[in-house]
Structure 1
Amino acid sequence: MIGRLQGTLLEKQAPEVLIDIAGIGYEVQLPMSSFYELPEVGAIATIYTHFVVREDAQLLFGFINQGERALFRELIKVNGVGPKLGLAILSGMNSAEFVDAVATDDVARLVKLPGVGKKTAERLLIEMRDRLKNLQGSVAATAAPSLHALEASAASVQDVEGDAIAALLALGYKPAVASKAVSKIAEPGMNSEAMIKAALKAML
């Protein structure tokens, strides 16, 4: 089991990063709630991980803190929720927003997430209600997105929009939905992370 990685960020292409540790590059997929918190490429990053072994692949999912990872691990225990859908849920809303949706039985909010139908949303509300009681301390410690992730880059608007759309597709959104959401919120000076965050928020 690989539970934690600390090394140099070599690449950041939401929702995946490449982190170098003693010359070995680890590919890690993160929910956007954690991706926003990462430092810039070339800096040292610490990522808490969940390791998944399948017949056809070995996958690493990363989180900026143990609270997010704990919530992810409870999410994927829900019938019909695998790691990919768990990643999409925590990308579409942060931990506090998810807790609020469960507390208020907000099915409508959950079904807006890619891959979450009404039945899955209802299962999430029922099964996560009790599990969240045991996670309250961990979830409360989950940090909100930091400002450094929202600073504009010098990349062209077209490149930034392409990166944002690619990230939304990787999270499970359909091409038409991703393109429409990005074009709706795109503004000059936005970097891809800010654009992804705004697009996700606009779709909720």
Structure 2
Amino acid sequence: MIGRIRGVLAEKQAPEILVDVNGVGYELLVPMTTLYQLPGIGAEVSLHTHFAVSETAQTLYGFYAAKERTLFRTLIKVSGVGPKMALAILSGMEADQLVQCVMQDNVSALVKVPGVGRKTAERLIVELRDKLSQWELTASPLAALEAASAPQSNKSSSSDMVAEAESALVALGYKPTEASKLVTGVLKDKTVERSEDLIRLALRSLAPA
């Protein structure tokens, strides 16, 4: 099993990234919460990983923090929750937010995740409550990023940014019409210069307060 990977961030197209390790490129799927914390292209990156093997694919998942991987592994043990759904859940809310949803029986927040119906949300709460009861809540790293979200040099053109954001949301399980609606809703009220920020804000609009 591949448990950790360190190399140069070669490509970043949400939710997939490419890490160059001594000339070998490893493709990883990462939750949006990890993507927001990655450095720029060409910088060194170190990620905790989970290697998933199915009948049709072998997929490497990457996580910025060890506790994100722990939560991912806990999620995929829940009946009816596969890696794709777990990735979507961790993209739509931070680890601590998910724990709070479970402990507060917040079904309405969970059903906003694509593929999570009411029965699945209720099963998540029932099966995770005891497992997450000792989870230690920490200060949100994304809140700090938002506070310092000054424009950066890798801003996208408006049309490319919208296309990238909608493509990433579709890859996470949202229908094209839903993705378009989320992106449009963000751009109606905010000025955004990077696709990553647009994705984050679109997902944040669905996350629990």
* Shorter-chain TM-score tier: over 0.9
Offset, 1:188: 3.9
Instruction: Say if 1:115 and 1:150 are closer, same or farther in 2 by CA, change over 3 A.
Output: farther
Pick the aligned partner of 2:198 from 187, 195, 201.
195
Instruction: Say if 1:69 and 1:58 are closer, same or farther in 2 by CA, change over 3 A.
Output: same
Offset, 1:57: 1.5
CA shift digits 1:18-67 (9 cap, x unpaired): 00001100000001111111111100000100001122211001100110
Contact 1:18–1:26 under 8 Å retained in 2? yes
Match of residue 59 from structure 1: 59
**SS in structure 1 of the partner of residue 200 of structure 2:** helix
Alpha-carbon distance in structure 2 between the residues aligned to 1:119 and 1:189: 36
Q: Note if 1:144 corresponds to 2:145.
A: no
Contact 1:67–1:141 under 8 Å retained in 2? no
Offset, 1:98: 0.5
Match of residue 44 from structure 2: 44
Alpha-carbon distance in structure 1 between the residues aligned to 2:149 and 2:90: 18
Match of residue 125 from structure 1: 125
Contiguous gaps of at least 5 residues in structure 1: none
Instruction: Say if 1:34 and 1:154 are closer, same or farther in 2 by CA, change over 3 A.
Output: closer
| Number of residue pairs matched by the alignment | 201
Match of residue 72 from structure 1: 72
Q: Alpha carbon RMSD of aligned pairs, Å? A: 1.7
AA in 2 matched with 1:197: R
Contact 1:15–1:35 under 8 Å retained in 2? yes
CA shift digits 1:168-202 (9 cap, x unpaired): 00000000000011011124442011100111122
* Range 49-58 or range 74-83, more displaced: 49-58
* Runs of 4+ residues deviating >6 angstroms: none
TM-score (normalised: structure 2): 0.91
Instruction: Say if 1:48 and 1:36 are closer, same or farther in 2 by CA, change over 3 A.
Output: same
Offset, 1:150: 4.3
Q: Which structure has the highest helix share of the two?
A: 1
TM-score (normalised: structure 1): 0.93
Alpha-carbon distance in structure 1 between the residues aligned to 2:120 and 2:91: 17
Contiguous gaps of at least 5 residues in structure 2: none
AA in 1 matched with 2:34: S
Contact 2:103–2:133 under 8 Å retained in 1? no
Alpha-carbon distance in structure 2 between the residues aligned to 1:32 and 1:144: 13
Match of residue 100 from structure 1: 100
Offset, 1:141: 5.7
Match of residue 25 from structure 1: 25
Contact 2:32–2:91 under 8 Å retained in 1? yes
